[in-house]
Every structure is written in C-alpha cells, then in structure tokens.
Amino acid sequence: MKGNVCKVRVRLFGDLAEVFQAREEEVELERASSIQGLLRLLCNSYQRRTKIFDKSGEVRSDINILRNGRNIAFLNGVETELDDGDVVSVFPRMFGG
Amino acid sequence: MLAEGELERYDRQLKLFGEKGQRKLKNARVFVAGLGGLGSAVLNYLAVAGVGTIRIVDHGVVEATNLNRQILYSEDDIGRKKVVSAEERLRALNSETEVEIISRTIDPGNVDELVGDSDLIVDAMDNFPARYLLNATALRKNIPLFHGAVHGFYGQATTIVPKRTACLRCIFPQAPSPKAVPVLGATCGVVGCIQATEVIKHVAGVGGSLENRLLIWDGLNCTLREIDVEKNPECKDCQG
C-alpha cells in the first residue's frame, strides 16, 4: 500500500461480468474505503447502478457480496472496510433448479 | 463381492475406483430433493453409476413447461406425478437401483423424517427456503449436502461437509425473492452432472471436492470459475 490508497481485486460473476464488461479488475481506492464506496465507484452508469442497487439505494436482494470468502452480511454489510489486497466477489444469487 | 453382471456393467468405471468404490456406491443411500432440471441430470447419472438406494422427493406434476430441461420426463408424462414418472425412468435405466418415492412438499415438520437414514443429501430444489431446510438437516444429521442452482446460462455448485466447510447459509445468508427464472436445459445438465460427480467421488472415496469452493458455470462464455468461501462464526445454522 502506498500512502493513502489501497488496491482491491474485484471479481464479477454471472451476468454481472457482462454488465461491467469485466470478470476481474484491480481497483484503487482511498484507504479505509468501504464496500459501498467500491460499488459506487464501479457503478458508473445507469445500467450498472440498477444492476447492483435497488430504487432505495440498497444493494439488491439478489446480489451476493463476499470479502475474502466471507459474506459481508456477517461483517459490516456495505460499510465493511476494505484493506489492501482484499478480494471482493460479487455475484447474483441463483436459486433455480 | 460384485456379481459377474455388475463387473461387466460397471467395467468402464471400475477402472476409476475399483470394486471397493463400486460396492460403496451399491451400499449408498442418497436423498435427492427436487425432481426438476437439476434433479433430472443428477438422478440419471446416479442411477447408471450404480447407487444402491435413491430416495426422491417432489410434490409436483409434470407440465409442458418442464420439458425443456427435465430430462426424466417425456411428453406422455404430462399430468403425471413427477415421482412416479421418475421412478419408472430410473428403474428402466438401472433395475438394481432401489428407488424410494415420496410425493410431498418438504417442510420444517417433515424434513428429518423424509431424509431418514440417507447418507447424503442432493439439493436440487428451486427455492431457498427449502434449501435452508436441507442445509439445517444436513448439519443436524452430520451428512454432506451437495448444492446446485441455476439461472439462465449460469449455474453454481458447492459441496458442504458439516463441521469442515462453510454451510449454505454461510455463503447465502438471505434468500432471494422467489420468482420464475429462465433456465436453459443444458445449464441444468452441466450443474447436475457436477453434483452427480461430487456425490460419486464422495461415496467412492476418490478425488478432491468442492469443499469451501463455490463453482460458477457461465454457459454464455463457456467458462468455469470458482470463489473460495469460508465458514462464518456468526452463521445461525452452523455457528461456523
């Protein structure tokens, strides 16, 4: 980590990879940024925003987010802070059988 | 000992895990919840692999909209109970496989009894409330759960071993809103075959498994990727 920035690796799965036109990317953030900050940075178009956030600005119920293999629901939700080297996996919840 | 007919029938896979592995499959009791697209793929391959006893549970009736992906059924089965048609199909594939059928909806009050003394559970359901019931039951009975789910061209699978791996609720703490999802039949085939492979390896005692790994199939781009997952100490089902 250099100065006040950290780098995290974002992995996108399912149709999110299509919408974000990337399966994986390294993102540079300010130190102590949260998942929320990361998502806001990534969602730089209407299509991307509506893919991740609902009308009230919450992460949609069909989106699953893990930080280093742990669901952020068990951490601090979208307020979960990110450290240098973290891996954030974002994927849609599938339930069909 | 395997009979001569069994040695011939399973010749191609005996080379993979030997007579000992085949006997384990013969003695296995597998519980498959859900007779939809995933259940169809899983069951075909478990039966032909020589799993001894398969208990299948589904309350549904075959409908025309099932036929794009549920390869246990044909047009003549429309209107029939899925468990009845599935039993016929599986017995036709392998008359040595004991098929136990239960045409009921899985609920909190019956899930323990339905799973009974099965050695493992295959999650081929189409909704998360039922999947959570199977997850909790697998944890309570200390038996593995083989999870699969699909959406369109995409699918996912993981293998849950109580005390050793993240459970389903560790990975998916909240159920998504239920709705009818688009599904390509071949997606169910890919994911169901992964689940069947996981079951067969687990029973026969060979290879590695999808423990603490969520496999994601992307049929649109024909890629398989995985996500490492961890137990969550705050998980209300397994407590990490």
Q: Is residue A12 situated within a structural domain? A: yes
For residue B76, what is the domain's CATH number?
Answer: 3.40.50.720
Q: Locate tokens 């780098």: which residue?
A: A7
pTM, to two decimals? 0.96
Residue B172 to residue A93, Cβ atoms within 8 A: yes
Domain-embedded: residue A22: yes
Beta-carbon contacts below 8 Å between A and B? 97
Would you state the pLDDT for residue B180? 80
Nearest to B233 by CA among B170, B164, B190: B170
Structural domain of A64: 5-92
How many structural domains does chain B have?
1
Answer for the pair B214, A71: CB distance below 8 angstroms, yes or no. no
First to last CA, chain A: 43
Which residues face A26 on adjacent strands? A9
Of A15, A18, A66, the CB nearest to B227: A66
CATH of the domain at A35: 3.10.20.30
Interface of A with B in 49-68 (CB under 8 A): 61-62, 64, 66, 68
Specify if A97 maps to a domain. Answer: no
* 3-class DSSP state of B75: helix
Average pLDDT, chain B: 97
The tokens describing A15, both together, are: 């149709």
Domains held by chain A: number = 1
| Neighboring chain B residues of A93 at a CB cutoff of 8 Å | 128, 172, 176
Residue B13 CA, chain-centre distance (Å), reads 20
Among B residues 53-112, those touching chain A with beta carbons less than 8 Å apart: none
A-chain residue closest to B180, CA distance: A96
Q: Is the ipTM of this complex over 0.85?
A: yes
3-state secondary structure of B13: helix
Per-residue model confidence as pLDDT tens for chain A (97 residues): 557 899 999 999 999 999 999 999 999 999 889 999 999 999 999 999 999 999 999 999 899 999 999 999 999 999 999 999 999 999 999 999 9
Q: Quick one: average pLDDT of B15-36?
A: 98
| Cα separation, B188 vs B201, whole angstroms | 20
Q: Which amino acid is it at A47?
A: Q
Q: Determine, for residues A14 and B218 on separate chains, whether the beta-carbon distance falls below 8 Å.
A: yes
pLDDT digit string, tens, across residues B112-167: 999 999 999 999 999 999 999 999 999 999 999 999 999 999 999 999 999 999 99
- Nearest-Cα distance to chain A for B47, in Å, is 19
Q: Is B138 among the domain residues?
A: yes
Residue B211 structural domain: 4-228
**Cβ B154 vs Cβ B217: under 8 Å:** yes
Looking at the domain assignment, is residue B239 inside a domain? no
Predicted local distance difference test score (pLDDT) of residue B176: 80
